[in-house]
Amino acid sequence: MRTSHVLIPTLREDPGEAETVSHKLMLRAGLIRKVAAGIYTYLPLGLRVIRKVEQIIREEMNRAGAQELLMPIASPAELWQETGRWSFYGKELLRFKDRHEREFCLGPTHEEVITDLFRREVRSYRQMPLNFYQIQTKFRDEIRPRFGLMRGREFIMKDAYSFDQDEAGARLSYQKMYDAYHRIFTRCGLTFRAVEADTGLIGGSSSHEFMVLADTGENTIVYSDGGTYAANIEQAEVFPPTEVDAEPPRPLRTVQTPGCRTVEEVTKFLNTSSAHLVKTLLYSTGGNTVAVLVRGDHEANEVKIQRLLRINGLELATPTVVAQVTGAPVGFAGPIGLKDVRIIADHAIKAMRNVVVGANQIDTHYVDANWDRDFHVEQFADLRSACAGDPSPKRDGILRMAKGIEVGHVFMLGTKYSETMKATFLDLHGKECLAVMGCYGIGVGRTAASAIEQNHDPKGIIWPFPIAPFHVHLLPLTQSTQTAKVTAQLYDDLQTAGLEVLWDDRDERAGVKFNDADLMGAPFQVAIGDKSLAEGVVEIKTRKDGKKVKLPPAQVVGHLTEARPS
Ligand code: ATP
Ligand code: MG
């Protein structure tokens, strides 16, 4: 393709709206443009990358035995009402009415629609197992769309849904997807890790997230230094402490802590450490308030709290609720004398003695409080997030932390949807059984953006060959007839050899062309100029390592077909 025939609006400066490297570079290299918050146009170069990621996904899904179909973006409310998700999903679900006042939503995911298809069309175990996938635009009205394609509102997802006769079959389908995901992300040139993830109320290790390791990742993952364990921080199990603080209990006292609300302010004022303070977090859930106690230096884990309470949906109580429940402003809540509130605590609390807690009174805390004497805990459980240094749940050393971007998710659904939607089939004995399901997603745009996060330098993108918009960037440096002739010949020959070529045919200075080529990140650049042609050569640069070689034009095709990764 010639640059003059394609819209590639490169930018010299970093756009102010972008925070992450991939977002900046996607804008600067002319891959995407914003239309509204979280909504983008894929420009020609960006679309080429998207299509390549899709093709890799398609090939591996087909290879794993999944079949492609395409479901509608608009889905009727009735299907969502059947599963209860019409009310459950909240504001992320974009709802609208058609001209007949019938309610619809833009699909954020497609369990309902595919389960409906299955129950209408599949009768017998003979037709199973089945795995359907689509590559399609999703809409989620994300509260905070950001980082370009990383967290859009409208984005392209590959979603797949498997239907099996039984649990064992479902596990096999799950494993096939797990393996396919490994191949997909490897082929996309990513460094990633599959980590155990939260399964909500389903339980078991039947959910894995595929995390691309990158500092800009929104997820925190933990992994054991022994190498056998990796999990999302929301999921990682924390063992109860093995040792209890041996201090004898001291009498309970109240102390004035004027203006001290945060853990840091209180412990500094009282000259103690955050490991001696118990945080009392008040959460609202479906009209009730729950108090969760965690050690001052620990993070409460909302996923674990929800799992323990068997609820979905948890919010920190508003200042009004806090005032109602504790009689004090935010910052002074504590478990002593707290009425009509369920109190649950992290295991670590049980091992603490003589702690600091809020006194439910402005500017006041208790010191030397002890749970078995001064307040009642209904249940102790694992309610905090793992930290670096915690023992590995697999007992192979300690945990370390890293940041990750979730590019894919494989999830065992069990019979959650087949039960509510009555998706059944007749088994070998003619008995009606519920299909056992799994679902599997990959963010296509997020995968492309992650590839940039992991492959760039200060000059721009360094595309992994398999998803590069072009393989070779031809850069004629002068406007002479000879340069034009050699460039045109190379353009033809390289394409004949199966390489995708972008020909910078603009009348621009050499420096501008080199800068743009580095920014756009094609794996190879070929510079053709009068000076080197006088010596009978052109110059080939590998974008990744910056290495340059000079070769006669006739040898370029051979060199590049050999240098391209297979
Ligand atoms: P997240 O926790 O990042 O919101 P999710 O758990 O909601 O992700 P899934 O419902 O499992 O995501 O969707 C499958 C895949 O779709 C994710 O692994 C991710 O790659 C992609 N994805 C999800 N939300 C977005 C989004 N807002 N923008 C771009 N890609 C997304
Ligand atoms: Mg989400």
Tell me the pLDDT tens digit for each residue of 24-64: 999 999 999 999 999 999 999 999 999 999 999 999 999 99
pLDDT at residue number 5: 92
Cα–Cα dist 325/305, whole Å = 20
What angle do the packed helices 556-563 and 481-496 form, to 10 degrees? 40
Instruction: Tell me which of 312, 406, 447 to substitute to probe ligand 1's pocket, judged by most ligand atoms within 8 Å of the beta carbon.
Output: 406
CB atoms within 10 A of CB 507: 7
Ligand 1 neighbourhood includes 105 CB (under 6 angstroms): no
Contact 447, 144 (CB under 8 A): no
Supply 51's token pair: 């299509």
**Whole-prediction pTM:** 0.88
Proximal ligand: closest to the CA of 442: 1
Q: For the segment 143-194, what is each residue's pLDDT rounded down to a tens digit?
A: 999 999 999 999 999 999 999 999 999 999 999 999 999 999 999 999 999 9
Mean confidence (pLDDT) of the chain: 95
323/136 Cα distance (integer angstroms):
47
Cβ–Cβ < 8 Å for 540, 549: yes
Reported as a pLDDT band with limits 50, 70 and 90, residue 200 is low
The CA 527 to ligand 2 mean position distance, Å, reads 44
User: In this predicted structure, what is the pLDDT of residue 430?
Assistant: 96
Q: Is the CB of 208 under 6 A from ligand 1?
A: no
Q: Which ligand is nearest to the CA of 148?
A: 1
DSSP helix/strand/coil, 427: coil
Question: In the predicted model, what is the mean pLDDT of residues 492-497?
Answer: 98
| Number of DSSP helices (H) and strands (E) in the chain, helices first | 17, 31
Single-letter amino acid code for the residue at 509:
R
- Could you tell me which of 49, 54, 51 has the C-alpha nearest to residue 30? 49
Nearest 5°: the CA angle 524, 45, 491 is 45
| Least confident piece of the model among 162-171, 232-241, 507-516 | 232-241
For residue 464, give Cα distances in angstroms to 29, 191, 363, 443, 563: 15, 11, 57, 18, 13
Q: Which two tokens stand for residue 184?
A: 């997909």
Residue 381's CB: how many other CB atoms inside 10 A? 17
Is 217 a pocket residue for ligand 1 (Cβ < 6 Å)?
A: no
Which CA distances in Å does 67 have to 132, 160, 162?
5, 9, 10
Note the pLDDT of residue 201. 54
Which pLDDT tens digit goes with each residue over 249-258? 999 999 999 9
> Does residue 227 surpass a pLDDT of 90?
no
Task: Find out whether the beta carbon of 192 lies less than 6 Å from any atom of ligand 1.
Answer: no
Residues 375 and 372: their CA atoms lie apart, in Å, by 7
Instruction: Count CB-CB contacts under 10 A for residue 526.
Output: 27
Ligand nearest to the CA of 53: 1
408 pocket-lining for ligand 1 (C-beta < 6 Å) = yes
Rounded alpha-carbon distances, angstroms, from residue 101 to 104, 105, 311: 9, 13, 33
Buried b (16+ CB within 10 A) or exposed e, 408-418: bbbbbbbbbbb
Q: What is the 3-state secondary structure (H, E, C) of 131-152?
A: EEEEEEEEECCCCCCECHHHEC
Helix ranges (DSSP H) in 224-343: 263-269, 302-309, 319-326
Q: How many CB atoms lie within 10 A of CB 198?
A: 18
Specify the pLDDT at position 340: 86
Q: Is the CB of 155 under 6 A from ligand 1?
A: yes
**In the predicted model, is pLDDT for residue 326 greater than 70?**
yes
The count of other CB atoms within 10 Å of the CB of residue 284 is 17
- Is residue 202 over pLDDT 60? no
How far apart CA 280 and CA 357 sit, in angstroms, is 8
Ligand 2: centre distance to CA 110 (Å): 14
Does 360 score more than 90 pLDDT?
Answer: yes
Structure tokens at 495: 């394409």
Q: What is the pLDDT of residues 404-442, one digit of tens each?
A: 999 999 999 999 999 999 999 999 999 999 999 999 999
Distance (Å) from CA 443 to ligand 1 centroid: 6
Pull the structure tokens for residue 526.
């070929």
Pairing relationship of beta strands 472-476 and 524-528 according to DSSP bridges: parallel
Is the pLDDT reported for residue 136 higher than 70? Answer: yes
Q: What is the pLDDT of residue 198?
A: 79
- Give the confidence band of 566 by pLDDT, cuts at 50, 70, 90: confident
Beta pairing, strands 432-434 & 67-68:
unpaired
pLDDT band for position 522 (50/70/90)?
Answer: very high
Using most ligand atoms within 8 A of CB, pick from 42, 150, 157, 312 the residue to mutate for ligand 1.
157
Q: Which ligand is nearest to the CA of 90?
A: 2
DSSP code of 465? G
State the pLDDT at residue 245.
87
Give pLDDT, residue 90. Answer: 86
* Distance from C-alpha of 353 to C-alpha of 529, rounded to nearest angstrom: 77
231 versus 475: the higher-pLDDT residue is: 475
pLDDT of residue 235: 85
